[in-house]
Amino acid sequence: MRSQDCRICGNALEYTFVDLGLSPLANSYVSSSKLQQMEPMYPLRTFVCERCFLVQVEDFESPQHIFEDYAYFSSFSDSWLEHCKIYVDKVVRQFQLNEASKVVEIASNDGYLLQYFQQQHIPVLGIEPAANVAKEAKEKGIPTIVDFFGTELAQKLIDEGIQADLLLGNNVLAHVPKLNDFVKGMKMLLRDGGVITMEFPHLMKLIQQCQFDTIYHEHFSYFSFTTVYQLFEKHGLQLFDVEELPTHGGSLRIYAKHISDAGHPVTRNVQLLLQEEDVFGISNMVTYQRFKEDVKKLRRQLVRYLINLKENGKTIAGYGAPAKGNTLLNYCGIEKDFLDYTVDRSPHKQNMFLPGSRIPVYAPEYLKEAHPDYVLILPWNLKNEIIKQTEFIREWGGKWIVPIPAVEVID
């Protein structure tokens, strides 16, 4: 076992959360010119800290290698854009943001969220390490710094007279290997009286619903509210509110302020969720030990079902080419003998091949030509949106398969 220490408290890690075997980097899509080349594979093994209960993967590649040229563009999900617009309207009202405010987003991607602040004439700044993705934001007129966030960049911005009234990050905390430096940097960049909001998948939901496919190398860490509360408090930040969200199969949105800030009283939601996690067993190692057996059981269930379909002559297509889908396919050994192809709305993924499985990716319109009997929804968290977009498969009796939290067939 590699020597690995907890990213928060430095404790030596001994306990495996789940071992998903060998897997490529989940967003390392393969072009046709590289199909005959070797593909790097890495152990995908997660550990749990018995002291602070952070769950983390072993880190084999640097963030620079993973994120500087990235295949994920947030703007291709209609439901995600609607989620972001609702969030912007909410925080503008709640925190009385206006033309004199400054909103800074860490991991701002292609400007999917900051565009809604701009529409309300609120000054924004994006921070995005993937140059190819940041380029899309800049073309929308959204000021974007191409860099990784931490104390070094925070100090540079402060020296330039920049601090945030609202500092936000959606689904970035999991991507950060140096958690203490990251949160310390947020503390530095936050203006007195300012607010931090962050969204991230909820570890408790991951365990409850067997969402093992949300584990991949780009996600360095997995968080309970209990662990994040301790992390922020360690760096002088107080979590004063929390919301449970349906996104990504169950996420949290946390609200933080400087501990010295007398404003923004702590809501009852904070204590209620801490209590709920305690009752669930988030600080009990037995909870984590059970998870690996649930994952093995779900893999067997999905593979048995697909084998039965193929032996009965059915054709199966995929919908989506998300990172989580690549974890699912590689761990379950699902390749082209099961899944003929998959389709995705993002032109950045079309005409590419999924890492590991080498399943080809086409545009969604291909479903109308091929008439598959079944469509396996890989981004299962968007199943309602995807079923609505592909209702036409009912014309030939097509059905959808949802793999998580248990195999479900929808006709």
Write out the DSSP string of 167-182: EEEES-GGG-S-HHHH
State the helix-helix crossing angle for 323-332 and 285-311, rounded to 10 degrees. 80
Segment 63-67 shows an average pLDDT of: 52
Per-residue pLDDT at 351: 96
Cβ proximity of 150 and 175 under 8 Å: no
Per-residue pLDDT at 79: 79
Q: Which domains does the chain have, with CATH numbers?
A: 66-280 (3.40.50.150), 286-410 (3.40.50.720)
Cβ proximity of 306 and 337 under 8 Å: no
pLDDT score of 75 more than 80:
no
Cβ proximity of 28 and 348 under 8 Å: no
Q: Name the pLDDT band for 3 (thresholds 50, 70, 90).
A: low
Separation CA 192–CA 64 (nearest Å): 32
**CA-closest candidate to residue 192, choices 100, 261, 99:** 261
Is the Cα torsion angle 347, 319, 25, 249 positive or negative in sign? positive
CA angle 7-12-17, nearest 5°? 75
Phi, psi (degrees; rounded to nearest 5) at 178:
-100, 80
Which residues make Cβ contacts (< 8 Å) with residue 34, sequence separation at least 6? Answer: none
Please identify which residue in the block is written with the tokens 């939901």.
205
Runs of H (alpha helix) within 312-370: 323-332, 366-370
Phi, psi (degrees; rounded to nearest 5) at 158:
-60, -40
For residue range 217-257, list pLDDT tens digits in order: 888 999 999 999 999 999 999 999 999 998 888 999 999 99
Segment 118-122 shows an average pLDDT of: 96
For residue range 13-59, list pLDDT tens digits in order: 999 999 999 999 988 999 999 999 999 999 999 999 999 999 999 87
**CA-closest candidate to residue 403, choices 188, 211, 226:** 211
Per-residue pLDDT at 4: 82
**CA-closest candidate to residue 293, choices 205, 222, 210, 217:** 210
Please identify which residue in the block is written with the tokens 């923004």.
264
- How do 124-127 and 251-258 pair as beta strands? unpaired
Please identify which residue in the block is written with the tokens 């959606």.
170
Exposure of 397 in the CB half-sphere (CA atoms within 13 A): 3
Segment 324-335 shows an average pLDDT of: 97
Which residues make Cβ contacts (< 8 Å) with residue 98, sequence separation at least 6? Answer: 122
For residue range 128-187, list pLDDT tens digits in order: 998 888 898 999 999 999 999 999 999 999 999 999 999 999 999 999 989 999 999 999
Segment 371-387 shows an average pLDDT of: 96
CA 401 to chain centre: 22
pLDDT score of 355 more than 70:
yes
